[in-house]
């Protein structure tokens, strides 16, 4: 069966629109130095001045010498996951930065918090094996989750960015 | 392309497998633990670090307001503050009332207190002073409950055994009941032997928390209750099914560190049907009728003649009103902080005052020097202590006034309104005095309660002053 | 499509570039500012964002307990709580007493209050309701102080001008003095015009904080004072020299948001010579003698006959007793939070209730949802409000009892002890009522103060009840 004429037009339009979207998105991404996401150097995160506070904090944090942004904020379980998170964060943050439309103070989002927690365990899993053997840690701030996942940070909030208050 | 895809898929697969093996790896199991393993020494074979610390709850200490001192005997609260003898006149607490000490002492202290040796007490006392899961279930089976001890704790049969046994033990004399138990609170009371997950096992708590869930009182610090309320409510709230791990880290303590009734007139209960605030509990008691139809009271004051209430260690309730609870900080966070032992980090099972180990108990959350944190606690406690003294003075005054007025021939009916104020004032004072953090668990709320106690006490005096025989 | 894409891309690109330039941009100096530039509009040419926000302090709002409402007139506190009329009987506050409103209104509100239009007041009132650095210095020069207005504020001559002018203005009538000023608090009062650094300029504060430094009262929240105490103490403590930037972020507010005396009998002063706690201030007043030898008091209560104290807005003192001060959190952190203007962060000069902008005021430190933080504040405030009512009831009762007893012919000497209790109780109640956070700045301390107020009030009543003519 041959596709009908209108469908062809629609398909063409769709492709064109997607192209525009991708193109402009990419451009914004690049001009806002979203490409920073592709590097492991913390300095490239502060290309975006919005990240200055976290960068300064990181320099004062206990992990300054042992972990960079990506060690904590990107998944390390597998490459696909890593680039997926990298890409979606990069795009989202570039967009937020360009439109200057985001909540301040900036707060880590649940998905990224899960990534973070997994990284704590990546480095400290052995040490904490006994306390995680019977389930994740949990904080009752989110009643929709029986135990949400940001357990380490509840007590060790300062490891990444130094004293918070 | 196919090659790259294959590599990616393999990378993913291998990383997933690694996770799974890690999850299985726990500590070395030397002994098989089950619902019948009461003796902590058995558990200690699998978990020696926790067991060691658990045993160290027999170490004595004192802080400005906490601990029982390092002498052979626990510090007497009656000697420390003789006004208490007047305040508790006519009640067993006027005979013997000491500072709490470590968990290792709980059974022994109960067996030897003059409140037990000189006054008749029931088996309800054992609810919080011994490991009694097995004792209750055995007694329940004896009373005709179905099934055996082998059934898992969360099975319907086990629940029936537990509750039947509990009812039955509560009715025994203390002397008979105490023969059924041998250990202070033990691993089994807080842990599921299959996987070490936390759980609650005490009947008073199981019923009390379900009643609290039924009430409308907001519980922002216990979100699983608020979630249960939004559901169909067909099954009662069950902490072991509904609560998060973090909530259980407080609830296991809430099994005992709570206000309760455990006199002879009815089965032990936690008075949470209207909520966890001091007024809500008071109001529940005021509306509660004993089987004989009389309004609820704990004892009749020997001098004042008032039918008063006794408050006992409302730590769970007071914590619930504080900022820490609202912030998701549990009892275990402060009283059982993580400690590093060699290559492993575990919960400190030497449950005690956080001031004995401020760096672990407080400093992960509060980046202030130890001395500063200690000062913060002591400032809060000193303020509480001062107000508590003022409330005691007011009520001792009221008791004396009531006594003199009665001797001077003022008729009982005229004294009644002032006695009502005595009941209110004493309830509030005792709520704070019996609470064991000297105000720390909820500083402003505690001060508020004492302010009201003072007000009611002094108003009572004003009423009596106006009376003629 | 290509055209659209190009437009889109260019638009986004330009917006990104804008962000980037903003990051570099600081401020342009269009006007030269110096010690004579009182008019904020001039400063506004260099710092338009701060000036815009500063002007918006004329926006009206109300929160549960804060703000003055959005009507044309500020809410009357006397209408909201008629007990205050009894409590302030015989004093100007019984005539007119309103909710505070924004800084833009301070001069106008003072000029039009019936406390000023119907009662004689002195020029001291202006200390906190106007930009008066220049006015004081000009008056000082007139009174013979050396030098000119061109000298920097921290020069000895300028200090001499300031103090001489202050003394002189305080002695004028309000009507004469108010002609010397035109602006509510202005940039010059808090900023050094050369470099915008924070500074304090109000004589009452300069003297008060030096007196506090001389006292032994611990000031963990003001470490520069503790440091000064360890030094040789040859020169008086000077905030502009000694205090850290973070301390100044509270001290600039402490220039006005403090307890003070500014009646006609002596020059305005801040009573901090013994410390910042409610009892320390009371004790300083009790020992303070007026030039005529009489013990310090603010007014004689019309009905009770007591020589009582008036407390005014002790925000700085109350904050000093709270956990935020101890944790190094300043007034400006909450009341002038950083806001992003484009890419720059500046201090919000629309000084107002933090509840109007919880995310910026609180969430930088507290990772809880806005609604939760608001609830925390309101729980604290509701408890305070409740106790405040109880204290008012006690003191209104005492006032009535004193009045009746006097009418019944009880001699003054016998009433004296009860009047002394009235003074204590009223001081504590007013300390909280006049404080503007309804307990938030130091929740437990505020509850403690109210508890004592209740106790003294009721004890006063008990004393009177026992008296015969
Ligand atoms: Ca009780
Ligand atoms: Ca005053």
Q: Which position has the token pair 């672990």?
A: B360
Closest chain C residue by Cα to residue A31? C13
Q: State the pLDDT confidence band at A35, using cuts at 50, 70 and 90.
A: low
Which pLDDT score is estimated for A18? 65
C174 and C123 in contact (C-beta within 8 Å)?
A: yes
Please tell me whether residue C319 adopts helix, strand or coil conformation.
Answer: helix
Report the residue of chain A nearest B334, measured CA to CA. A155
Query: C13, A31 in Cβ contact below 8 A?
Result: yes
How many A-B residue pairs are in contact by the CB < 8 A criterion?
85
Q: Could B224 and A134 be called an inter-chain contact, meaning their C-beta atoms sit closer than 8 Å?
A: no
Residue C409 binned pLDDT confidence (cut-offs 50, 70, 90): very high
Would you say residue C214 has pLDDT above 50? Answer: yes
pLDDT (tens digit per residue) in C25-34: 455 678 999 9
- pLDDT exceeds cutoff 50 at B443: yes
Nearest residue to C465 (alpha-carbon basis) of B400, B404, B458, B303: B458
pLDDT in tens, B292-319: 999 999 999 999 999 999 999 999 999 9
% of chain C residues with pLDDT over 70: 94
Q: What's the pLDDT at A97?
A: 86
The residues that bridge with B62 in the sheet, in sequence order, are B67
Count contacts between A and C (CB, < 8 Å): 54
- Give the one of A81, A134, A144 whose C-beta lies nearest to B195's C-beta: A134
pLDDT at residue A10 tops 70? no
Residue of A19, A24, A143 to mutate for C, most C C-beta atoms under 10 A = A24
Q: Which of C376, C450, C455 lies nearest to residue B323, judging by beta carbons?
A: C376
Contact B414, B354 (CB under 8 A): no
What tokens were used for C168?
Answer: 């002189």
C386 touching A, CB under 8 A?
A: no
Question: What secondary structure does DSSP assign to C81-110, as a single string?
Answer: -THHHHHTTTSGGGT--B----GGGHHHHH
Unique residue bearing structure tokens 């006034």: B401
* Cα C309 to middle of ligand 2, angstroms: 7
**Least confident range of B374-388, C1-15, C315-329:** C1-15
Percent of chain C with pLDDT over 90: 89
Touching chains, B (3+ CB pairs < 8 A)? A, C
Gap between the Cα atoms of C44 and B280, Å rounded: 56
pLDDT digits (tens, 9 = 90+) for B333-385: 999 999 998 889 999 999 999 999 999 999 999 999 999 999 999 999 999 99
Instruction: Determine, for residues C15 and A104 on separate chains, whether the beta-carbon distance falls below 8 Å.
Output: no
- Kindly determine whether residue B26 and residue A129, on different chains, have CB atoms separated by under 8 Å: yes
Give per-residue pLDDT as tens, C261-287: 998 899 999 999 999 999 999 999 999
Ramachandran angles phi, psi of C346, nearest 5°: -130, 165
Q: Do you find a cis peptide bond into B206, omega within 30 degrees of 0?
A: no
Q: Is the pLDDT of residue C55 over 70?
A: yes
Distance B259 CA to ligand 1 centre (A): 5
Distances in Å between the Cα of B453 and the Cα atoms of B83, B285, B399, B414, B447 are: 15, 17, 14, 22, 10
More confident: B92 or A31: B92
Interface touch C462/B466, C-beta < 8 Å: no
Whether residue A148 has pLDDT greater than 70: no
Q: How much is the pLDDT for A91?
A: 86
Q: Which one of B278, B368, B462 makes the best mutation probe of the C interface by having the most chain C beta carbons within 10 Å? A: B462
Please name the residues in contact with C395: beta carbons below 8 A apart, sequence gap of 6 or more.
C87, C422, C425, C426, C429, C453, C457
Query: What residues have their beta carbon closer than 5 A to ion ligand 2?
Result: C 310, 312
Mutate one of A130, A137, A155, A157 to test the B interface: name it (highest B CB count within 10 A).
Answer: A130
By CB atoms closer than 10 A (0-12, 13-18, 19+), residue B14 is: exposed
pLDDT band at residue B21 using 50, 70 and 90 as cut-offs: very low
The interaxial angle of helices B278-287 and B412-434, nearest 10 deg, is: 140
Q: Please tell me the predicted confidence (pLDDT) of residue A5.
A: 64
* A47 contacts chain C (CB < 8 A): no
Q: Which ligand is nearest to the CA of C259?
A: 2
């Amino acid at each position: 069966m041959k596709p009908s004429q209108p469908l062809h037009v629609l398909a063409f339009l769709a492709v064109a629109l997607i192209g525009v979207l991708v193109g402009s998105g990419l451009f914004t991404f690049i001009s806002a130095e979203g490409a920073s996401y592709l590097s492991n150097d913390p300095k490239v995160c502060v290309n975006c001045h919005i990240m200055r506070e976290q960068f300064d904090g990181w320099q004062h944090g206990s992990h300054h010498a042992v972990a960079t942004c990506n060690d904590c904020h990107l998944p390390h379980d597998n490459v696909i996951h890593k680039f997926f998170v990298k890409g979606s964060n990069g795009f989202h943050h570039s967009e937020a930065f360009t439109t200057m439309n985001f909540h301040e103070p900036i707060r880590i989002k649940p998905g990224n918090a899960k990534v973070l927690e997994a990284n704590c365990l990546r480095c400290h899993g052995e040490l904490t094996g006994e306390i995680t053997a019977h389930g994740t840690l949990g904080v009752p701030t989110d009643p929709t989750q029986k135990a949400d996942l940001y357990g380490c940070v509840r007590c060790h909030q300062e490891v990444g960015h130094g004293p918070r208050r | 392309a196919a090659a790259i895809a294959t590599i990616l898929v393999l990378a993913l697969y291998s990383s997933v497998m690694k996770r799974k093996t890690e999850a299985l790896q726990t500590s070395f199991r030397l002994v098989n633990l089950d619902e019948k393993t009461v003796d902590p020494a058995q558990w200690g074979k699998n978990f020696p670090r926790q067991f060691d610390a658990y045993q160290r709850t027999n170490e004595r200490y004192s802080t400005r307001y906490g601990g029982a001192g390092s002498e052979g005997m626990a510090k007497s609260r009656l000697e420390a503050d003789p006004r208490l003898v007047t305040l508790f006149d006519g009640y067993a607490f006027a005979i013997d009332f000491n500072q709490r000490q470590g968990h290792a002492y709980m059974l022994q202290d109960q067996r030897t207190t003059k409140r037990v040796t000189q006054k008749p007490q029931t088996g309800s006392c054992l609810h919080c002073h011994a490991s009694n899961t097995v004792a209750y279930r055995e007694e329940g089976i004896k009373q005709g409950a179905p099934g055996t001890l082998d059934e898992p704790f969360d099975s319907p049969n086990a629940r029936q055994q537990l509750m039947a046994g509990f009812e039955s033990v509560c009715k025994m004399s203390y002397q008979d009941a105490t023969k059924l138990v041998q250990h202070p609170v033990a691993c089994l009371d807080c842990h599921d032997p299959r996987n070490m997950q936390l759980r609650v096992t005490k009947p008073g708590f199981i019923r009390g928390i379900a009643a609290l869930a039924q009430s409308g009182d907001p519980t922002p610090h216990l979100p699983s209750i608020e979630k249960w309320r939004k559901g169909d409510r067909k099954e009662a709230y069950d902490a072991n099914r509904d609560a998060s791990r973090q909530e259980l880290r407080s609830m296991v303590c809430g099994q005992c560190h709570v206000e309760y009734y455990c006199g002879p007139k009815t089965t032990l209960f936690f008075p949470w049907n209207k909520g966890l605030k001091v007024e809500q509990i008071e109001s529940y008691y005021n509306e509660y009728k004993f089987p004989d139809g009389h309004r609820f009271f704990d004892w009749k004051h020997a001098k004042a003649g008032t039918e008063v209430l006794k408050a006992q260690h409302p730590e769970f309730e007071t914590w619930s009103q504080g900022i820490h609870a609202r912030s998701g900080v549990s009892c275990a966070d402060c009283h059982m902080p993580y400690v590093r032992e060699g290559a492993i980090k575990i919960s400190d099972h030497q449950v005690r005052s956080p001031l004995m180990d401020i760096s672990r108990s407080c400093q992960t959350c509060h980046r202030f020097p130890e001395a500063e944190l200690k000062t913060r606690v002591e400032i809060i406690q000193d303020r509480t202590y001062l107000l508590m003294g003022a409330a005691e003075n007011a009520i001792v005054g009221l008791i004396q006034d009531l006594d003199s007025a009665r001797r001077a021939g003022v008729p009982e009916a005229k004294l009644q309104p002032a006695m009502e104020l005595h009941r209110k004032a004493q309830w509030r004072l005792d709520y704070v005095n019996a609470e064991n953090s000297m105000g720390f668990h909820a500083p402003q709320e505690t001060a508020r309660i004492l302010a009201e106690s003072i007000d009611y006490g002094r108003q009572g005096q004003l009423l009596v002053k106006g009376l003629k025989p």
